[in-house]
């Protein structure tokens, strides 16, 4: 299997926070959603992968090349989008296009102009006069116009309205139809990941709690609302976490098929990505 990103044993230490021994691989042709509460380490992980933040690691590889030795070549084929423009606020899209044409060998001026028109961005309007949403749209237009093979998005859709976010998700789906392309997408808007992600990586307090395919999450996880008797009868190995309500329990389970075989008449609701994150952060672990 070919990987767009491979990370082994990455650690980044701050005075009050540690990104602890992170390892994962993103297969080419797929989308990985990176989730976690604020302060979990998502941006730190992305900055460490990109070399923006110094870190210790056994390997950081993108598109089959080691980031330490082939960083310049890798950056020709990747695009990174944050939740606001990183360009000088006095620049215009037209000037940015001219600058980027000197930076990227594969810069496509016609494609960039097409995205500007599609996104309703005036060529000569300065960034400082643009809304947050317009600035993020400009980021997407610029990122996609040098034909990258890997997109890394750090909360990139958070400043967009629901209609445009849906339009962007359609563009991202089309992007990964090429099996050589991939996306790593950090987002707290988990409904976006429900629509596009092939894999979900859950980061909590600097550690990866799990990496699962989206299909595994939909198939294996579920939520049971039950009383004390059923709660006591559930195998502790099948309970991820639970919430105690005044007269019942809300229980996040894994091994849904196994639980269904044992308790055939109980209702097991689907668990979304957001449900799983909330249960893991706010739920209680069984003892």
* Domains of the chain from N-terminus onward: 3-214 (3.40.50.300), 221-282 (no CATH)
How far out from the chain centre does Cα 160 lie? 16
Examine the pLDDT at 109 and tell me if it is beyond 80.
yes
How far out from the chain centre does Cα 161 lie? 18
Question: With bands split at pLDDT 50, 70 and 90, how would you rate the model's confidence at 110?
Answer: very high
For residues 1 and 27, the answer to whether their CB atoms sit within 8 Å is yes
DSSP string, 111-153: HHHHHHHHTT--TT--GGGS-HHHHHHHHHHHHHTT--SEEEE
φ, ψ at 51 (rounded to 5°)? 85, 5
For residues 32 and 273, the answer to whether their CB atoms sit within 8 Å is no
Which pLDDT does position 129 carry in this prediction? 94
In the chain, what percentage of residues exceed pLDDT 70? 100
Question: With bands split at pLDDT 50, 70 and 90, how would you rate the model's confidence at 105?
Answer: very high
Closest CA to 175 of 136, 200, 143, 149: 149
> What's the whole-number mean pLDDT along residues 106-126?
95
Which pLDDT does position 273 carry in this prediction? 87
Instruction: Look up residue 31 and give its DSSP letter.
Output: E
> What's the whole-number mean pLDDT along residues 131-135?
87
Which pLDDT does position 188 carry in this prediction? 83
Examine the pLDDT at 165 and tell me if it is beyond 90.
no
H-state helical runs in 145-272? 162-175, 190-196, 214-220, 228-233, 256-262
**Spatial separation of the C-alpha atoms in residues 15 and 30, rounded to whole Å:** 35
Q: What average pLDDT does the structure give for the chain?
A: 91
Examine the pLDDT at 79 and tell me if it is beyond 90.
yes
Examine the pLDDT at 47 and tell me if it is beyond 80.
yes
Which pLDDT does position 287 carry in this prediction? 78
Which pLDDT does position 54 carry in this prediction? 87
Question: With bands split at pLDDT 50, 70 and 90, how would you rate the model's confidence at 83?
Answer: confident
φ, ψ at 4 (rounded to 5°)? -75, -35
In the chain, what percentage of residues exceed pLDDT 90? 65
User: Tokens 């001219």 correspond to what residue?
Assistant: 98
**238-274 per-position pLDDT tens digit:** 999 999 998 999 999 999 999 999 998 899 999 988 8
> What's the whole-number mean pLDDT along residues 158-177?
86
Helix (H) or strand (E) holding 247: none
Which pLDDT does position 179 carry in this prediction? 81
Which pLDDT does position 152 carry in this prediction? 96
């Amino acid at each position: 299997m070919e990987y767009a990103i491979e990370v082994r044993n990455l650690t980044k230490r701050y005075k009050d926070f540690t990104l602890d021994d992170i390892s994962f691989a993103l297969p080419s042709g797929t989308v990985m959603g990176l989730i976690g509460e604020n302060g979990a380490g998502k941006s730190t992980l992305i900055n460490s992968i990109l070399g923006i933040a110094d870190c210790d690691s056994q390997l950081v590889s993108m598109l089959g090349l080691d980031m330490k030795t082939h960083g310049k070549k890798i950056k020709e084929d990747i695009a990174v989008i944050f939740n606001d423009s990183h360009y000088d606020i006095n620049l215009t899209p037209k000037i940015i296009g001219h600058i980027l044409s000197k930076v990227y060998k594969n810069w496509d001026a016609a494609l960039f102009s097409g995205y500007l028109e599609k996104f309703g961005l005036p060529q000569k309007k300065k960034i400082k006069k643009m809304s947050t949403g317009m600035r993020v749209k400009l980021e997407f237009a610029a990122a996609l116009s040098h034909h990258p093979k890997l997109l890394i998005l750090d909360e990139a859709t958070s400043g967009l309205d629901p209609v445009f976010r849906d339009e962007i998700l359609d563009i991202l789906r089309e992007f990964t139809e090429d099996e050589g392309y991939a996306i790593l997408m950090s987002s707290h808007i988990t409904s976006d990941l429900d629509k596009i992600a092939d894999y979900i990586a859950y980061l909590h307090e600097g550690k990866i709690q799990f990496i699962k395919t989206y299909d595994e999450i939909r198939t294996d996880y579920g939520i049971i609302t039950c009383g004390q008797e059923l709660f006591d009868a559930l195998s502790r190995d099948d309970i991820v976490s639970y919430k105690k309500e005044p007269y019942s329990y809300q229980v996040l389970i894994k091994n849904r098929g196994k639980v269904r075989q044992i308790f055939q008449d109980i209702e097991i609701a689907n668990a979304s990505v957001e449900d799983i994150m909330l249960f893991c952060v706010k739920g209680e672990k069984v003892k």
